[in-house]
Amino acid sequence: MGFVLPLTSADAAYVATWQSTEQRVKTVCSALGRPITALCDQAHYETAVARLRSNNIVVSPTGEVTFTACGVTTYKAGPWIDDATVNDLTQGAVRATSQSMGQGTKIHSRIMRCMNALSATALHNGLPTSFEKEVMLSSGGHMVGKFWSEVPRCVSNFMDNDHFRMAAHLRLALVVVPPGSLCQIAKKNDVDDKCLAEISDPCIHPHLCKRGPARQRPHRALMVSLKRVLERAGAEVDLERAIPALYRMDTAGKVTEAILDAVVITPGCFSTLPVDVTIRCPHAQRTTNRASITPSVAASEGEKDKQTRYGSSVLPLSLETYGRMGRKSLQSVRQLANQTVAGSIASRFHRGSDFIAMLRSDLERTLLWNIADTTLLSLGHVWRSRGRQG
Ligand SMILES: [Zn+2]
Q: How far is the CA of 283 from the centre of ligand 1 (A)?
A: 15
Q: How far is the CA of 129 from the centre of ligand 1 (A)?
A: 24
From the number of C-beta atoms within 10 Å of its C-beta (0-12, 13-18, 19+), residue 80 rates as: buried
- Strand, helix or coil for residue 275: strand
pLDDT one-digit tens code per residue, 52-69: 888 898 888 777 888 999
Q: How far is the CA of 279 from the centre of ligand 1 (A)?
A: 17
Instruction: Quickly state the pLDDT bin for 385 (edges 50, 70, 90).
Output: very low
Among residues 287, 283, 285, the alpha carbon closest in space to that of 301 is found at 287
Q: How far is the CA of 170 from the centre of ligand 1 (A)?
A: 17
Mean pLDDT along residues 207-222: 88
Q: Give the per-residue pLDDT at 35.
A: 41
Residue predicted with more confidence, 129 or 85: 129
Residue predicted with more confidence, 158 or 196: 196
Q: Give the per-residue pLDDT at 225.
A: 94
The Cα–Cα gap between 292 and 283 comes to 9
Task: Name which of 62-71, 349-358, 363-372 the model is least confident about.
Answer: 349-358
Residue predicted with more confidence, 148 or 129: 129
User: Model pTM?
Assistant: 0.80
Q: Give the per-residue pLDDT at 92.
A: 57
Domain ranges of the chain: 20-126, 211-363
The Cα–Cα gap between 46 and 31 comes to 10
- Strand, helix or coil for residue 355: helix
Q: How far is the CA of 134 from the centre of ligand 1 (A)?
A: 21
Q: How far is the CA of 182 from the centre of ligand 1 (A)?
A: 8
Q: How far is the CA of 301 from the centre of ligand 1 (A)?
A: 23
Q: Give the per-residue pLDDT at 150.
A: 66
pLDDT over 60 (residue 154): yes
Q: How far is the CA of 381 from the centre of ligand 1 (A)?
A: 14
Q: How far is the CA of 387 from the centre of ligand 1 (A)?
A: 20
pLDDT over 70 (residue 200): yes
Q: How far is the CA of 281 from the centre of ligand 1 (A)?
A: 15
Q: How far is the CA of 212 from the centre of ligand 1 (A)?
A: 9
- Contact at 8 Å (CB) between 335 and 273? yes
Q: Give the per-residue pLDDT at 316.
A: 96
pLDDT one-digit tens code per residue, 21-62: 666 656 665 665 554 344 345 666 777 788 888 889 888 877
**Which residues does residue 376 pair with via DSSP β-bridges, in sequence order?**
none
Neighbours of 188 (CB within 10 A): 12
Mean per-residue pLDDT of the chain: 80
pLDDT over 70 (residue 105): no
The listed range with the strongest mean pLDDT (111-115, 135-139, 350-354, 384-388) is: 135-139
Interior angle at CA 305, CA 322 and CA 85, nearest 5: 55
Q: How far is the CA of 7 from the centre of ligand 1 (A)?
A: 26
pLDDT one-digit tens code per residue, 339-351: 888 876 655 556 6
Q: Give the per-residue pLDDT at 350.
A: 60
Q: Give the per-residue pLDDT at 14.
A: 54
Mean pLDDT along residues 209-214: 83
Task: Name which of 195-199, 236-240, 247-251 the model is least confident about.
Answer: 247-251
Q: How far is the CA of 43 from the centre of ligand 1 (A)?
A: 60
Instruction: Quickly state the pLDDT bin for 280 (edges 50, 70, 90).
Output: very high
- Contact at 8 Å (CB) between 298 and 287? yes
In this structure, which residues have their CB less than 5 angstroms from ion ligand 1? 183, 185, 195, 197, 209
Q: Give the per-residue pLDDT at 9.
A: 47
Read off the DSSP letter of residue 157: G
Q: Give the per-residue pLDDT at 288.
A: 75
**Which residues does residue 280 pair with via DSSP β-bridges, in sequence order?**
320
Calculate the alpha carbon distances from 335 to 43, 184, 298, 341 in Å: 48, 40, 22, 10
Mean pLDDT along residues 117-139: 89
Mean pLDDT along residues 324-329: 91
Q: How far is the CA of 194 from the centre of ligand 1 (A)?
A: 8
pLDDT over 60 (residue 4): no
Q: Give the per-residue pLDDT at 196.
A: 92
Query: Is residue 193 within a helix (H) or strand (E), and if so which, with residue range?
Result: strand 190-194
Q: How far is the CA of 369 from the centre of ligand 1 (A)?
A: 18
Mean pLDDT along residues 98-104: 44
**How far from chain centre, in Å, is Cα 311?**
25
Q: Give the per-residue pLDDT at 100.
A: 41
